[in-house]
A and B are shown apart, each in its own frame.
Chain A
């Protein structure tokens, strides 16, 4: 059985302009020790998928479907029930390390409270573990950093602190929502290496959310490509890169900048990501932008086809 099993997850927001369907019928599985990348354009519902699993959806959101951790349903649990899951079993880090740590509290207080709450440790006992964890994510001067406020650290450093903090209770799963998007390119590589190292060392599963397909190539085991709230294609990273089954994946891959090819023009997908307010015309959401669409594509939603470890939602 999968460590995490998401089935038919839907997330809708009620807004003054009507209902926004951010996540539609998403199903994913995550095994121990695996890095699953969720890739998609901004607004395609990647974050909301993760937030739904963590019970962190905004107040105006409604969700349905199922999220099972170790076979136990966790979707729709309240904060009290989820406190046994959050940080202990599933931890999460976020896109913007500059704003994700509490600027009014010392790093020490923010880290030790995790162990105080979840493991009943004293501040002093927690302290040793926290500093060791900071060292293990390659923070030099860990002792000094530990006593600092977040604003005294750089963005890369803060993301490391976030990662160290998320690992304190040795969770089974780490969800990293665009962990490198706000960082410099050189720091990005370091953070990705760190995530790979963590996977090796603790054998935990990682969900890496990103809009950057290039980032995924070197680190994930499997990829799920999302578009307009749906998973368009998923499969082992290498296979998916070599032979994309969905025209959207194909287009995404073509628009990657390749170092080994001398391209004078950048490929781009014409049109733009659909507005998630319209309930969908019933056809494939990528149809209006698809270079190979047929009349049948606008008729009905393509069923998900599964062959071996790969699945995709396209009628072709």
Chain B
């Protein structure tokens, strides 16, 4: 198992490298330039700036320099659009924010989603089931960009209970709306996946055996059905978790939380190549890491899987 994990991490290195090269090529190939802002610069100045950041060199040379900088000095370069700040600094500032509200939203959507899904499945076709399915369909049609304005309308403008935006070091009042807005639709998906996989597990032969053993309802659900029913949920959660902790543009924009979701979009608009690359690499790394985590959890749940 340990050997397997190490091997997977080793394989992750070339994957990440390929991600870096392709993203770099794609973003540089996109029309526009980092230095073509509102005011047009004289050609000499432009050439000067491009030379300073190495953008005048052949593209493969640029990629190699970039990768070399990361490997030797863990240097992700300066940001083009945020003057005097490095990509590392920006990510170090923004990532903890998205990590905080993303992780909380993740915990809540898993806890609520799994509970709703399990209840709906074990009480199939009862009013519990209809209520749970109803709630999750309701939540499904409320993605974060719909939830955010509704929450602000209700809790900030009407009731005046919560601040409409800001972060303030992640104090509770500032956390509540971003977390709710981000979690609802994920919660709904998790509830749906849990319900259908639980129903499938409850129809298997080994559940019939367990019922014939007269071991009681709780034991049946918690000792026999829950673990296998979590398999599809776990594979959904891997990429979802990464998506949630690397933040949401909508949340960052709407609530001015200052997370990296917002930086990423701004960077893309401004052709801030190093910042786009930095956040892409972070997301890529997390994706590889959590795919591995999913596989490890799979092996833990299902003893037939051996690596």
Contact = CB atoms under 8 A, between A and B. Distances in A.
Contacts of A104: 227-228, 301-303
A228 to B, nearest CB: 24
B209 A100 contact: yes
Nearest to A148: B303
A83 B212 CA distance: 9
Interface in B224-263: 224, 227-228
Interface in A57-74: 59
A154 to B, nearest CB: 15
A82 interface: yes
Nearest to B214: A86
Nearest to A51: B208
Interface string A17-59: 0000000000000000000000000000000000000101001
Contacts of B206: 99-103
Contact of B302 (A59, A92, A101, A103): A103
Contacts of B217: 79-80
A105 B304 contact: no
B205 A94 contact: yes
Contacts of B210: 102
A127 interface: no
Contacts of B205: 94, 96, 99-100
Contacts of A6: none
Contacts of A12: none
A79 B211 CA distance: 8
Interface string A75-92: 000011011111110011
Contacts of A258: none
Q: Chain B, interface size: which category?
A: 20 to 34
B213 A114 contact: yes
A56 B206 CA distance: 13
A118 B302 contact: no
B303 A103 contact: yes
Given A99-B206, A104-B302, A104-B303, A83 B224 contact: no
B204 A151 contact: no
A246 B206 CA distance: 37
Contact of A117 (B124, B208, B216): B216
A96 B227 CA distance: 22
Given A83-B216, A86-B213, A149 B208 contact: no
Contacts of B219: 113, 117
A105 B223 contact: yes
B304 A103 contact: yes
B124 A59 contact: yes
A107 to B, nearest CB: 11
Contacts of B124: 59
Contacts of A165: 213
Interface in B250-297: none
Contact of A99 (B204, B211, B302): B204
Nearest to B211: A56
A149 B214 contact: no
A162 interface: yes
Interface of A: 54, 56, 59, 79-80, 82-88, 91-92, 94, 96, 99-105, 109, 113-114, 117-118, 149, 151, 162, 165
7 contacts: A84-B214, A87-B213, A102-B206, A103-B304, A117-B219, A118-B214, A162-B209
A-B interface, 8 closest residue pairs, ranked by CB to CB distance from nearest = A86-B214, A83-B214, A99-B205, A102-B206, A92-B212, A149-B303, A87-B214, A100-B209
